[in-house]
Amino acid sequence: MQTTLDIRYPKPFLKWAGGKSQLLPEINMCIPKDIRESKTIKKYFEPFLGGGAVFFSLISNYRIGEVYLSDINNELILTYNVVKENPKELIERLKILSNEYPSEKEDIKEYYYGIRKSFNNNLVDFDFENYSEKHVERAAQFIFLNKTCFNGLFRVNRKCEFNVPCAYTKNPLICDEPNILNVSKSLQNVNLKCVNYLELEPLIDDDSLVYLDPPYKPLNNSSSFNGYSKYRFDDDNQIEFAEFYKRISNKGAKAILSNSDPKNIDESDNFFDDLYSDYNINRVKAKRNINSKGNKRGYVSEILVTNY
C-alpha cells in the first residue's frame, strides 16, 4: 500500500548531532535516476534515523510504498512513536514546558537541571506498543532537553543517564506545533523499530532504497563523539558494517552511505577508500558543528558512498 499523504514539508523536529539537513542537496543528487524520474520508491529503509532529515525530504517529494525507520536509541524511537500516535497530547505538554521556561540565566539553570533529573530518575524499558501518559511526558522531556541542552547533543553515561549540560538558550522553540503535526502525518504508515541495523537485513531486497548514516569514525580523539547510546561503534564495527553494505548490495538494494573522511587529517588514510573500493565514493563538504571552540568549527570533507 503506497503512502500518499498531504504533507506540507515536514522537517526534523529535533536538533541532532551530525544531522543531514545541510547535505540534502548532495544526498538527493545520489538518488538513483530511475527513482528521481518516477518519483516512486517501493521500499525505503533508514536504520540510523537520528533527526530523520533524509526521510522527511523524501516523503515530501516521492511516493513511498513501505517505510522502515529504526534506531538503537530507545528514547529516540519512543519520541517518534509519541509524535506519530499522540501529537496533540505531546503539543499540550510541550506548551506547558515552553510557558514555564524562565528568562533569567540562574532560573534557566535550575529549571533545566530539574527536568534532566526527572528524566534520568525515570529510566525504564517502555513497551512501545502500549501508549500511556508516561510516554507523552517522557517524549516531551526528551524534546525539551534536546532544544535547550548544549548543541542539541544526545549523550549518555555508562548508567544510560543523559548528561549534556544546559545551553542557557533564551526563547528556545520548544513547541513547533505545525511541524509536529506535519511530522505525525508523515509517520502514519511508517514502521518504527528500536533495533540494530542487522535486524532489518532480511527485509531488504532489490526493490529497496537504503540510506545509511552510522556513527561516524572520529577524525581525532577530541572530535570523538560516541555517547549516543550505551553501545560503541569502533573501527571493528565499521568493518562489520561494510560487510553488511556488501551483502545488501549483492541482494540488489540501492544503498547510500555517509561517513566522515579520514583524509581531513591524513591524506594517506585510506580506511574507507579500501573498505568501499568496489563502490562509488563521493567527497562533499559539510560544516562541523560540534566543538566548544568557535574557531574550531568549519567545513570538512565527508564521504557519500553509492553502490550504483
Does an H or E element contain 78, and which?
A: helix 74-85
pLDDT digits (tens, 9 = 90+) for 107-163: 999 999 999 999 999 876 666 666 667 899 999 999 999 999 998 889 988 888 999
Residues 269, 68: Cα–Cα separation, whole Å? 34
Residues 150, 109: Cα–Cα separation, whole Å? 12
Neighbours of 201 (CB within 10 A): 15
DSSP annotation of 167: -
**What single-letter amino acid sits at 264?**
N
Range 238-247 contact pairs with CB under 8 angstroms and sequence separation of 24 or more: 238/214, 238/271, 238/275, 239/275, 241/197, 241/212, 241/214, 242/275, 242/276, 244/197, 244/198, 244/201, 245/212, 245/276, 245/279, 245/305, 245/307, 246/278, 247/201
Cα within 13 Å of Cα(45), Cβ side? 25
Give residues with Cβ within 8 angstroms of 30, minimum separation 6. Answer: 256, 282, 304, 306
- Listed as ranges, residues in the chain with pLDDT below 50 are 1-6, 223-226, 290-292, 294-295
Residues 100, 46: Cα–Cα separation, whole Å? 36
DSSP annotation of 197: G
Give residues with Cβ within 8 angstroms of 143, minimum separation 6. Answer: 13, 14, 79, 90, 94, 174
Cα within 13 Å of Cα(127), Cβ side? 4
Residues 265, 138: Cα–Cα separation, whole Å? 40
Residues 58, 73: Cα–Cα separation, whole Å? 22
- In this prediction the pTM is 0.90
CATH class, 21-72+195-306 region: alpha beta
pLDDT digits (tens, 9 = 90+) for 199-219: 999 999 999 999 999 999 987
The pLDDT of residue 230 is 55
Q: Do 21-72+195-306 and 76-181 have matching folds?
A: no
The CA-CA-CA angle for residues 102, 104, 108, to 5°, reads 55
Task: Give me the residue spans of the domains in the chain.
Answer: 21-72+195-306, 76-181
- The topology (CATH level 3) of 76-181 is Adenine-specific Methyltransferase; domain 2 (1.10.1020)
Closest CA to 139 of 200, 91, 69, 201: 91
The pLDDT of residue 228 is 53
The pLDDT of residue 141 is 98
Q: Where are the alpha helices (DSSP H) in 86-215?
A: 87-100, 105-121, 133-148, 177-186
The pLDDT of residue 19 is 85
Contact between 175 and 52 (Cβ < 8 Å):
no
Contact between 9 and 32 (Cβ < 8 Å):
no
Contact between 303 and 259 (Cβ < 8 Å):
yes
Range 119-126 contact pairs with CB under 8 angstroms and sequence separation of 24 or more: 119/145, 119/162, 120/161, 120/162, 123/160, 123/161, 125/74, 126/74, 126/78
